[in-house]
Structure 1
Amino acid sequence: MKNKKLILILAAVLVVVVAAVFLLNTQRAAKPSTFKLGILLPYTGTFAAVAKTQQQGVLLAVEQRNAEGGLNMPWGKVKIEYEDMDDEANINTGVRRFRYLRDQGAHAVVGQTWAAVSLAINELCIRDPYPYFPVNVAPLDSYRKGKMGDCTYAAGYTPWTVGYMAGKAAITDLGKKRIFYLGRSDSWGWDIRDGLAAAAKKYGGEIIGQLEVAQGTSDFTTVLEQVRAAKPDVFISAQFGGDAISLLKQCYDMGLNKEMTIFNSFLTNVVAQGLPLEARENIYGMHFFYYDLTGFEDAETVKLAAEYSKAFMDKWGTPPDAYATIAYIAVQQLFDAVEKAGSFDQADIRRAIEQNPEFMSVKGPAYWREDHQAVYEYAGFLVRGKGRNEAKHEFDFFEVVSVQGGEEVYPNLKDLGF
């Protein structure tokens, strides 16, 4: 009998201990001492140079928030830790490493340069909602109703918007109505084409010729001869990164710059740095963010852009580029949403964004739309390349000519099924 009583007492004590440990662990889980951020970018492969700038934007945002003590949560300040991994611009690798980061306790993941990887990861987030903030320019189809994860939010826009802004700027700001378009044989090129066509239809432009080439094309001689024969007012191209550098160099070498306006739809500082000064001179294009907004009419935006650009320059030695800024904004908005939610739970983060969609970014006012796309008042800056006689220093790439933005330059929500 005594043994039975002893066993019952020990069992009761064990139950109490187990319950106490469980309660303690639950409380700790609910009030973690660190916020773990997963960073997943293609540091090897085709997009490595762009990924490096994205990483710089993310790390600056983390450093700045930690310098303020971390995230301001209901249970106190929470420092941010991160784990940085390479998706190798490979779908299988990206998905596997995303799962690893999530399973190892990352509270959110930011990343991706190549849209194919971000689309694959987003598919996982549709089935199992999770805070995922892609930092690239994703295809238009990924924003259709039901295609975006509940807690997937994209700080970049779609190539459709890139094309629309390029077309509107070429026609309304530069007065160039006869357009020849060189696309790329994938969703990037097709979406830019469709946005360009929409802008041309609205503003009285005409696409008098169009061709497309595969990503990685290096010799554009035959294409450029056809462009020359068409005699457009403006030659708008979808090529990006190294492809854009090759194309723009060949435009200069063949003398097309003297016969028409050369317009690369989505310019970056990386492209500008890859061009001889003579080839960069008077090249036009849309830029997601340009670090020098001197003279821009919105004083608050100029101030925020200058402060961000100085911090970036002080840390990395170069001014921030477009994709660095997409990544920086994405991480800032993730952190803000977590603080507003007072929680690391994806449902709470989503609710916080839905209830507080408007935000101020380093490129001006913006808000989260129903399709989880950030709509910027200043979505793209029309820039003109500076040549040898104008550039005052090695980073003096462009002059900001005008700006495009607001709901007009985004695809209509009804067309996306909302």
Structure 2
Amino acid sequence: MRKFSKTKDKKAHQRALVPFPGATKQDFKAALDAAKEEVPDVLVLVLFGDDMAKALKMVTAMGLKKKMSIVVPNLTLGMAKSAGPEAMEGVVGALPWAWNIPEQYNYETGKKFVETFSKRYDAYPSSSAASAYSILYQYKDAVERAGSFETAKVRKALEGHKYSLLKDEQEWRAFDQQNIQTVYAVKGKTKEDILKDKYQSDYFEILTSMSGEKAARTQRQWKNDRFKANKSSILN
């Protein structure tokens, strides 16, 4: 976040830490009070799951959204639904997939997945559902290409493998075994738009996208981070 937003100067761009796990309402209140006192242009909530939902509800109740822009770097549909339409309105964040991405970018397999999932479960698939679906088929494909269930052979079949399934091309990067894929910047829709949706789950307006290669750490950055953490740059 600091790299892409040019806020590496921690004196000029301050932060307030909360305990993890187990942050209480009082912990969030103290951190948000500090933000309220500073009145920054942008408040970034580096939180996930229930912590994000609780903090975002407090942000809304305290009226901070009227004074500053709110950014949540890592969003999911489940988190948005937990926070609720009012709290999510206008919030900017990022995610690897959302149910309306296939429609907006015309990914046919993705559109079929959303349609089938919605009919079966009366709900839109989240990024977690899309990830679970994709990973299962990727494992199956790797086993078939490796001709074995042996871990080392399956891993070798995955490393460097490129594929397209629910969206554009993705890759299992060889040197760090990470899935490199396009990420999307989104903004929370208005409460009115969210509630008029048939599932009341049309939370995200897709703003733009960034390629996985640009978003992910380079091999040099990854090796430097591993060196600083006293970890090997060769994964077994």
Q: TM-score range by the shorter chain?
A: 0.7 to 0.9
Cα offset, 1:245, TM superposition: 1.0
Cα offset, 1:252, TM superposition: 0.5
2:123 matched residue in structure 1: 318
The one-letter amino acid of 2:119's match is D
Structure 1 unmatched runs, 5+:
1-195
Report the TM-score, using the length of structure 1 for normalisation: 0.48
SS of corresponding position for 2:124: coil
2:169 counterpart of 1:361? no
Structure 2 unmatched runs, 5+:
224-232
2:38 counterpart of 1:235? no
> Which of 346, 353, 362 lines up with 2:151 in the alignment?
346
Cα offset, 1:307, TM superposition: 1.3
The one-letter amino acid of 1:199's match is F
Q: How does 1:175-186 map to 2 (within 5 A)?
A: none
2:198 counterpart of 1:395? no
1:91 matched residue in structure 2: none
Q: Deviations over 1:126-146 (max 9, x none)?
A: xxxxxxxxxxxxxxxxxxxxx
Which has the larger strand fraction?
1
SS of corresponding position for 2:13: strand
Separation in structure 1 between the aligned mates of residue 75 and residue 116 of structure 2, nearest angstrom:
22
The one-letter amino acid of 1:221's match is K
Q: How does 1:142-181 map to 2 (within 5 A)?
A: none
> Which of 211, 216, 219 lines up with 2:22 in the alignment?
216
CA contact (8 A) 2:102 2:166 kept: no
Distance 1:271 1:350, change over 3 A: closer
Separation in structure 2 between the aligned mates of residue 257 and residue 364 of structure 1, nearest angstrom:
34
CA contact (8 A) 1:367 1:375 kept: yes
Q: Deviations over 1:321-358 (max 9, x none)?
A: 1222222222111011112223323343233224x611
Distance 1:257 1:340, change over 3 A: same
Separation in structure 2 between the aligned mates of residue 321 and residue 213 of structure 1, nearest angstrom:
27
Q: Deviations over 1:30-51 (max 9, x none)?
A: xxxxxxxxxxxxxxxxxxxxxx
Q: How does 1:162-311 map to 2 (within 5 A)?
A: 196-201=1-6, 208-214=13-19, 215-219=21-25, 220-293=28-101, 296=104, 298-299=105-106, 301=107, 303-311=108-116
What is the total number of aligned residue pairs between the two structures?
Answer: 217
Structure 1 residue ranges (4+ consecutive) displaced by more than 4 angstroms after TM superposition? none
Distance 1:407 1:310, change over 3 A: same
Q: Deviations over 1:38-87 (max 9, x none)?
A: xxxxxxxxxxxxxxxxxxxxxxxxxxxxxxxxxxxxxxxxxxxxxxxxxx
CA contact (8 A) 1:208 1:230 kept: no
Separation in structure 1 between the aligned mates of residue 186 and residue 18 of structure 2, nearest angstrom:
25
2:185 matched residue in structure 1: 382
1:412 matched residue in structure 2: 218
Q: Deviations over 1:157-203 (max 9, x none)?
A: xxxxxxxxxxxxxxxxxxxxxxxxxxxxxxxxxxxxxxx12223499
Identity %: 27
SS of corresponding position for 1:213: coil
Cα offset, 1:404, TM superposition: 2.2
1:328 matched residue in structure 2: 133
1:93 matched residue in structure 2: none
CA contact (8 A) 2:42 2:68 kept: yes
Separation in structure 2 between the aligned mates of residue 203 and residue 406 of structure 1, nearest angstrom:
22
CA contact (8 A) 1:287 1:381 kept: yes
Separation in structure 1 between the aligned mates of residue 103 and residue 116 of structure 2, nearest angstrom:
20
Separation in structure 2 between the aligned mates of residue 221 and residue 348 of structure 1, nearest angstrom:
50
Q: How does 1:20-59 map to 2 (within 5 A)?
A: none
Q: Whose radius of gyration is greater, 1 or 2?
A: 1
